């Protein structure tokens, strides 16, 4: 196992741009999600194309109808087999970059250091907003060396007025400090979607069968990792430092089935990262949607953790809150213990259609 910061960009020797998707990785690989793939390696008329760095690139995206996802994945596995790892310990597969295929990793930290040295007046409005946001995070008490910039902000291919500003905060302690600060700070350039905005967003864009409007609004309005700075959308990604990672690639994961649970959150400290988890208690399996074992699923199983690989479920619930969730039930065998956990957002969920069933929420009566 090795540490490699989540949310970083990796350019591969094949010209693929990937985003890292975990902080701890299996030996010789980095867990990623492919972001842009040169169309000469793989193409699909079903996905968006972009002209990036003088190449026609496919915007790889699994958030689309399952028929398209299946077609795209078949094509991916055939064209780029080195980028899929079948992990025996998980009984599952992951997108990866073999370490031997890493060409370069744009450095989020040094990128920001350089940006902060540019005279403010020489910056365009987008970069000015980026610097403003960084200064707010510094005001929150985050050491400047623990902040980085990512994606198009770092690579320079952003579009003023359109591109999001993506910042990374190194360290969960820093991350929580930032979230607490943003929760209370008043800044003329900082803006959040109001309950009314979220309700409209729900009505126009979401309309979920899992969330009532009130539940959706509650879950979104209190998150401070996405907002607006001077009308530019920003996102803050918190990543784990090497000494604070919780995930182990040595544990054995046995998928048991898809279930709905209710539980209480006993600890949310690790819910700020990807993959993240909520420590839960008083869990109850309230529904079995499907099962993988012939022996069936014992409803008395105690689920200890709710793990999310999906960013929308980061910071979804707070300590002490009751939650309801649907995901993949796994039996986890570590060197010390055996326990059960519910997982949301594994890559395979997009292919199997499970992603359409998965959710996590704080029920609102």
Query: Minimum Å distance from CB 306 to other proteins?
Result: 36
Q: How far is the CB of 167 from other proteins (least distance, A)?
A: 14
Size of the residue set binding other proteins (CB under 8 A):
33
Beta carbon of residue 259, minimum distance to other proteins (angstroms, whole number):
40
Could you say whether residue 295 binds other proteins (CB under 8 A)? Answer: no
Chosen residue from 117, 186, 294, 365 binding other proteins by CB under 8 A: 117
Which listed residue (27, 86, 122, 204) binds other proteins by CB under 8 A? 122
Question: Interacting stretch for other proteins, rule CB under 8 A, among 49-57, 65-73, 137-145, 284-292?
Answer: 49-57
Backbone angles phi, psi at 120, to 5 degrees: -55, -40
142 alpha-carbon distance from chain centroid: 21
Contacts of 233 (CB under 8 A, 6+ apart): 164, 165, 226, 227
Least distance to other proteins from the beta carbon of 54, Å?
Answer: 4
Q: Does 155 bind other proteins (CB under 8 A)?
A: yes
Bridge partners, 323 (sequence order): 263
Q: Based on the shown chain and the rule CB under 8 A, indicate whether residue 230 belongs to the binding site for other proteins.
A: no
**Does the footprint of other proteins cover residue 39 (CB under 8 A)?**
yes
Pick the binder of other proteins from 2, 53, 65, 100 (CB under 8 A). Answer: 53
> Which residues ranging from 85 to 114 are in contact with other proteins (CB under 8 A)?
106-107, 110-111, 114
Kindly tell me which residue out of 69, 127, 137, 167 binds other proteins, with binding defined by CB under 8 A. Answer: 127
- Sort 244 into a burial class: Cβ within 10 Å, 0-12 / 13-18 / 19+: middle
Of the listed pieces 22-30, 53-61, 232-240, 245-253, which binds other proteins according to CB under 8 A? Answer: 53-61
Give yes or no for residue 67 binding other proteins (CB under 8 A): no
81 binds other proteins (CB under 8 A): no
Give the residue with the Cβ less far from other proteins, 86 or 121: 121
Positions that interact with other proteins (CB under 8 A): 39, 45, 48-56, 106-107, 110-111, 114-115, 117-119, 122-124, 127, 149, 154-157, 159-162
């Amino acid at each position: 196992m090795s540490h490699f910061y989540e949310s970083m960009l990796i350019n591969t020797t094949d010209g693929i741009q990937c985003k890292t998707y975990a902080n701890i990785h299996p030996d010789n690989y980095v867990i990623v999600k492919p972001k842009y793939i040169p169309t000469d390696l793989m193409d699909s008329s079903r996905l968006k194309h972009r002209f990036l760095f003088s190449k026609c690139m496919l915007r790889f995206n699994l958030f689309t109808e399952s028929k398209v996802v299946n077609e795209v994945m078949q094509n991916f596995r055939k064209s780029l087999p080195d980028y899929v790892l079948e992990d025996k310990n998980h009984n599952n597969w992951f997108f990866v970059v073999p370490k031997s295929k890493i060409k370069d990793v744009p450095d989020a930290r040094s990128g920001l250091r350089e940006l902060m040295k540019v005279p403010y007046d020489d910056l365009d409005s987008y970069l000015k907003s980026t610097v403003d946001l960084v200064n707010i995070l510094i005001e929150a008490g985050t050491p400047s060396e623990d902040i980085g910039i990512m994606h198009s902000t770092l690579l320079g291919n952003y579009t003023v007025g359109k591109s999001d500003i993506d910042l990374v905060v190194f360290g969960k302690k820093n991350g929580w400090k930032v979230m607490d600060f943003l929760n209370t700070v008043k800044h003329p350039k900082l803006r959040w979607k109001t309950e009314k905005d979220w309700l409209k967003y729900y009505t126009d864009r979401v309309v979920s069968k899992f969330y009532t409007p009130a539940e959706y609004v509650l879950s979104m309005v209190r998150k401070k990792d996405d907002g607006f700075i001077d009308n530019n959308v920003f996102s803050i990604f918190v990543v784990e430092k090497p000494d604070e990672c919780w995930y182990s690639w040595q544990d054995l994961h046995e998928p048991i089935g898809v279930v709905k649970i209710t539980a209480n959150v006993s600890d949310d400290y690790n819910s700020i990262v990807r993959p993240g988890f909520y420590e839960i208690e008083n869990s109850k399996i309230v529904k079995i949607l499907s099962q993988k074992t012939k022996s069936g699923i014992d409803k008395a199983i105690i689920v200890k953790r709710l793990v999310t690989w999906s960013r929308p479920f980061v910071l979804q619930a707070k300590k002490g809150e009751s939650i309801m969730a649907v995901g993949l039930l796994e039996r986890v065998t570590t060197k010390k213990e055996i326990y059960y956990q519910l997982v949301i957002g594994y890559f395979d969920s997009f292919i199997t259609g499970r992603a359409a069933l998965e959710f996590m929420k704080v029920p609102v009566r």
